[in-house]
Chains A and B, each alone.
Chain A
Amino acid sequence: MRFGITLGLPLVAALLSGIATQTALAEDGEIKVGVVAAESGSFVSAGNTIAAAAKLATQQINDAGGIKVAGKTYKFKLFIRDDRTNVDTAIAAARELVNDVGVSAVWGTESHDFSVSMAKITGSAKVLQFTGNSSLGGVLSDESVAKDGWLHYTFQTEPQEWQRSTSTAKGVLSLVGPKLKTPPKHSVVFVGNDATGQYLSENYVTALKAEGQTVDLVKYPPDTTDFSPLLTRVKGLNPDVVHFWYNGDSTLIAFPQALKLGVAPAYFLFGVDPGIYKERGLKADQPVTMSCVPMCWGSAPFQAVKDYFEKYFALGAAKGPQSSVSLLYYDYFFMYAKALEQVGKLDDPDAVVAALEKMQYQGVVSAVPLSFNDHHQVTFATEVCLAEPGSSDKFKCAVEAPPATAPKAN
């Protein structure tokens, strides 16, 4: 009998402990979230950052114990799909994630017009979509984000284009101006001729004109590799500043060619991080400014951003031209998690949307708390940096606050 008690008690205890463990496991659940991003194709430099940011954010949330919803613990489970910079693939991926996998939210994609197509799939399935595309500004309206609107579940995670364009234009001209003999008056915007380029450059040209610039817009075919004929045309326009806008990969091909052809006395590289400028060993005798989307890898303005990039690269993210684009996606995992906890249930996307609409969240991307406006758009500043002439690694940076109102061209 004594033998029985000696042997039996630990056995019972072990069994009970096993049951308790099983109960805890049964209480743990997973929240499926999808990522659709260009991990190959022409938009890969921006696209791969979404997946990398998603991995970092979900790992941090899960490692910190996950999300507590109605007394249960949930962890994020990521489903990443490569859209290959192809709209059909992006749509197919969104359908699969929504219909087959059953995700509750989707991040992406970075290609502007693709996101709008995806929103038609996510919206009708009441799946939230977080997308860092300012061109959504063209369709986000009172009607489209209303409860029965087709973009009710879509959130634009980068500022409106006129805000970014204005702060960028101000930053570029204020940094370049003192480096030139006379203040710059004539700008040429050099941009890829695709849907994104057309939308973005329209706003940027307006912003430059509002700053008193005379502006010429030169568009190039998106897959151009030899830019010399086009850059020679730009040179013939005698610009004070050439603004390479918007595809960082194309810019990194075109910019060195422009230097060799002596196209302009100053340059601006949109969406090229100082970090990649340094990595590539780029150097110019002329002043070169660059803006990040939104805060710079390689010359971060805040400690939180520096810490972010350390963790981001420590997780194996590639050091690409637009690593900072990842910041357009990272904070929103935490906002989504917070909204789920506030709502207290997982099956009420309308309540989650309502929670997000009211939320103030202090993230990494902005010095002030993030919040969405009535059209589901955020507002935050843009960092612009100047590479000192002759240097690959000396930068002077400024954080330009977004304007309150849209610019009007002079």
Chain B
Amino acid sequence: MEILIQQLVNSLSVASVTILIGMGITLIFGLAGIVNFAHGEFLMIGGIATWFFVGMGLNFFVALLLAMVVVGALGFVAERCLFRFTLDRPMNGFIMSIGLSVILQHVVVRVFDEFQKSTPDPLGAVWVVGDVHIIAMRAVVVVITAIVVAITYFGITRSRYGLALRASVADQATAELMGIPVRRYVTGVFVYGSILAGLGGALMIGLFPITPFVGSVVITRGFVVSLMGGLGNVNGAVLAGLVLGLVDGLSAGYGYPEWTDAYSLVLMIVILVVRPQGLLGGTLGPKAS
């Protein structure tokens, strides 16, 4: 029984980082219409930046905030200098993002090196309840993710900006006629999604070491979550992230462990066949006139 409870606890923490990655992708893809395959590298840079700032002697959580700023700035530059020119041709943007991901990997390897980077566990504590081990940092990751999800959800569904954003997605031309600066919203969404990637990377390096190549591993899961949940749908990303976390935890615990990744992908295929719009439905990006 303890093992089952431990697996459920694990699933929640596995799901948290996945949700952060998936949420960034789902916002950028679903609301800005940009397929950014370099999103995983944005996450990696968030982790590396955190490692760098911690190495300079900063507190982990201060480093985390700085890493979010760094990746947000990176997202701003990428959107303004690159993706802005591909908004009418998403496939060009997609291919460009693949190139960008390789370039970012090599830049990090050149500036630092190709080896694993790690930070000391920011909290270090482990709470043992019965025989269930709850790692304090993982609990913090879950809490931070919950807060970010809540902010994002209410920002999109309840705020004036969220309303304008949704209007832009529904009908770009009409939104522009109504005075909504759609391009600026696209930039804003891209930067916000990038900040989430930075946060994800920072939290990830708080949990375990990362390498300059980790982005290519996590990006697949990010897209799985965003497609499974429904593009642009924050609730969908959360639900899909939780489902994936549960599938990972239970399949690793009770299925063939070496097939853990395959279970998630099979589930995604089934969902996309049965519900092409994702679990909770979504968008396909801004509809150009």
Binding site for B on A (CB under 8 A): 39-42, 44-45, 48, 193, 218-221, 223-230, 232-233, 235-236, 249, 252-253, 256-257, 260-262, 280-281, 318, 320-321
Contacts and interface: CB of A to CB of B under 8 A. Distances in A.
Contacts of B209: 252-253
A225 B217 contact: yes
Contacts of A262: 128, 133
Given A229-B7, A249-B116, A281-B120, 7 more contacts: A40-B114, A221-B259, A228-B14, A229-B248, A229-B251, A230-B260, A249-B211
B60 interface: no
A41 B260 contact: no
B253 A236 contact: yes
Given A39-B114, A249-B116, A229 B208 contact: no
A237 to B, nearest CB: 10
B145 interface: no
Contacts, number: 100
Contacts of B218: 225
A320 B17 CA distance: 27
Contact of B253 (A221, A227, A233, A249): A233
Contact of B10 (A44, A224, A228, A320): A228
A58 to B, nearest CB: 22
A225 B210 contact: yes
A42 B254 CA distance: 27
A193 B258 contact: yes
A227 B6 CA distance: 13
Nearest to B260: A221
Contacts of B138: 228
Interface in B110-136: 113-116, 118, 120-121, 126, 128, 133, 135
Interface of B: 3, 6-7, 10-11, 13-14, 17, 105, 109, 113-116, 118, 120-121, 126, 128, 133, 135, 138, 204, 207-214, 217-218, 248-254, 257-261
Nearest to B113: A318
B247 to A, nearest CB: 10
Contact of B3 (A225, A235, A249): A235
Contacts of B120: 281
A224 B260 contact: yes
Nearest to A48: B114
Contacts of B7: 229, 232
Given A236-B3, A257-B208, A320-B115, A219 B258 contact: yes
Nearest to B118: A280
B3 to A, nearest CB: 4
Contacts of B118: 280
Contact of A229 (B10, B126, B210, B211): B10
B252 A233 contact: yes
A260 B261 CA distance: 23
Nearest to B13: A228
Contact of A41 (B128, B133, B213, B249): B213
* Shortest beta-carbon contacts, A-B, top 8: A229-B252, A193-B258, A219-B258, A236-B3, A228-B10, A229-B249, A223-B217, A230-B252
Contacts of A228: 10, 13-14, 138
A226 B6 contact: no
Nearest to A44: B114
A222 B261 CA distance: 10
A218, A224, A318: residue with the most chain B Cβ atoms closer than 10 Å:
A224
A225 B214 contact: yes
10 contacts: A39-B114, A42-B213, A193-B258, A227-B208, A229-B248, A232-B252, A253-B209, A256-B121, A257-B208, A318-B115
